[in-house]
Every structure is written in C-alpha cells, then in structure tokens.
Structure 1
Amino acid sequence: MPLFILKIAAVAAVVMAFAWQLAHSRGLPIVLIILAVLVIVYGLVTKRTVFGRQVYAIGGNLSAAMLSGVKVRKVNFWIFVNMGFLAGVAGVIYSSRMNGAQPSAGEMFELDAIAAAFIGGAAVTGGVGTVVGAMVGGLIMAVMSNGMQLMGVEQPIQSVVKGLVLLLAVAFDVYNKRRAGASR
C-alpha cells in the first residue's frame, strides 16, 4: 500500500479514538464526528495528494489523463475501494440508526446522492467538484426531504420533486458549460 494511505489510516484511527471518547464524555453524536473526520480526510486527499489530482484528471478528460501518465486502471481500482469503504461505513451507520438491517435498506438513496453531488457543484462531464460542495448539496437535499415529510407529502411526489431538482441542477450545469464554451 502507498505510504500516504497508511498515514491517513493511522490519523483516522487516532481521531476516531479521540472522537469516541469525546462522544461519551461530552454528548456529541458519533455520527457527526465520523462525518467530520471523513470530510476532512477526503477533502485533504482530493486537494493535496497526487491520487486526488489523478482522480480529477480522469474525471475531466480520460484520454488526457492516460497521455499524462496516469495509471488509470490502478486509480480506478482505488476509487472503487474507497467507494466500497464509504458504502460500508454508511451501511453500518444506517443500520445502527435504524436498529436493524434490511436487504432493501438504502433503496432510492442514489437519487439523493446524485442530486446532492450536482447541487454541490459536481459537473456532468466530470473533473469538477469538492467534498464540501457535495456536503452542502447533501444538506440541501436532506432539508428538502425533511420538509416534505413534515408537510405530509406522499413518497411518490417526493421522488418526483427530487427528480425535478436533479434535472434542474444538471440543466444548470449544462447551460453553464455551453455558455463558458461559447465565450472562448
């Protein structure tokens, strides 16, 4: 394993140990601490490491990344490993919050995740976006979902509204790309 991954894992383990102690002594929710650690770690990885730059390069222009010497297959492998890790963390947290595990748990969360990424600034064409932006998009989607649930909006209508929000975010991104391309 690359040395920076071992360093990140060691730092994450130490932070998690302190977070666990802090959560029981001060009453902070452990989920919030885990989220903060993940945002900080992945924010640093994407902005300050070669791996992060390679991920953005592959997302922005695959051919250019290959020609620049990026080992695309290796980077893609580690991207999928990271996504598996994050899916595992999300599954453990969701199961613990629901006090049980269901095979169908998390269905239709993909719409919220994609909408959060686009609202947060990710581009349809790839290579653009930040961890903090995705978090802001996630908060917007969560507030919207919570508001619709409190208002008693039926689930199918909620899905339609979320789909329309996703459609508007993608349309806005495409419009901005075309406008930026026309001004060149």
Structure 2
Amino acid sequence: MKNHLLKITIAVFLFCFQLSYSQYKYEREHRILKSQFPALAIANIKENITDFKRIKFYKETDSTKISYEAKLKKDKLWYSIEFNEEGILEDIEILIKSTDVPNDTYAKIVGYLNNNFSKYKIKRLQQQYPSNNDTVEDIFKNAFQNLILPSNNYEIVVVGKKDKGYLDYEILFDAEGNFKKIRTSLPPNYDYVLY
C-alpha cells in the first residue's frame, strides 16, 4: 500500500511539473495601419534601419498581453521586430534555416524534439535577439548584422504529435540549444486580413 501511494504521489508531481513548463498561447495576429502602430516603435525603426523593403504592421493579442510587430525584409532576410503596448522593444527575430544554426546547438534541439514528440515537423525557425540589458541601438545592430551571440535564443514553431494527437507548439531554446519554454499555439487567425 505504501509503495502504491508513493507511485501515485510521484505521478502527480511529474504531471504538475510538466504543466508548469507548458502554457497555452491563444495568440491572434492581425494586420494594422501604420497610424495604429506605437509612435515610439516607428521612431526606433526609422532611427535604426535603412534600405528595408515590404514593411507591414501587426497587432498581436495573446492570453497574457498585447504587443505590436513590424515585419520587413532587408538584405534578403525576413525580420520581425516586436514591441510592447508602449512601443518599447521586446525582441528582434530573423527567419532562418536549420543550416544557419550551429551544429551542436541544432543537435540538442533535435534531441529535445525526438524525446518529446513521436512525430514532428518544424514549420518555422527564428533566431531571436531579446532585449536584455543591451541598448536598443545594440540590439538592432546585432540583429541586422545577424551575429551569433551567447544571448541569442532560437524559437521554433513545430507541429508535434503526442498522446492526444497533433498540436502546434512554440518552443524556445537558448544559444546552446537548451530548452527554455514551450507553449501550445492555436492555428493563426486570418479573420482580419488587411489588403
């Protein structure tokens, strides 16, 4: 009886532990006009980036916050620059391919995916420059020079199969490929497409 109770206690602990690492992300992104984008964010973009193409503005609402995102193309790379509601820089992400990730880092990421999903497909891979203690100018400079730094993160959107079927997951890894965070995503919402 004591052994059975111990097994149940361990199972409950592991279940709660797994829940603490996984959050649902009810994210909805829709295109907005430049006039609806925070003025401070637009000023930061104008000060720190030149010669870019195809800039588009988005408002992103998820279960915990509202943020704004500017997506643009520069030097054949796609960038996503995320700001909070006040227009303060949160991070800059670059759409990359698996070959752009250092081999050891990518091997650790793939190891995590193999251990946690019976099947998976990577939909999107981004190199992330978070706003830690660096200045806004330094973050823009590092991101637009596409530097590989110890402060970088890798954000992966994957369709993964677990016990209950396929779901979309957004997974964050550090520069060395160590797992940081996972969130379950809803599929994108195309209700508010702006032409």
TM-score in same-fold range (> 0.5): no
Q: Considering fraction of residues, name the structure with more strand.
A: 2
Q: TM-score, normalised by structure 2?
A: 0.21
Q: TM-score, normalised by structure 1?
A: 0.22
Q: Considering fraction of residues, name the structure with more helix.
A: 1
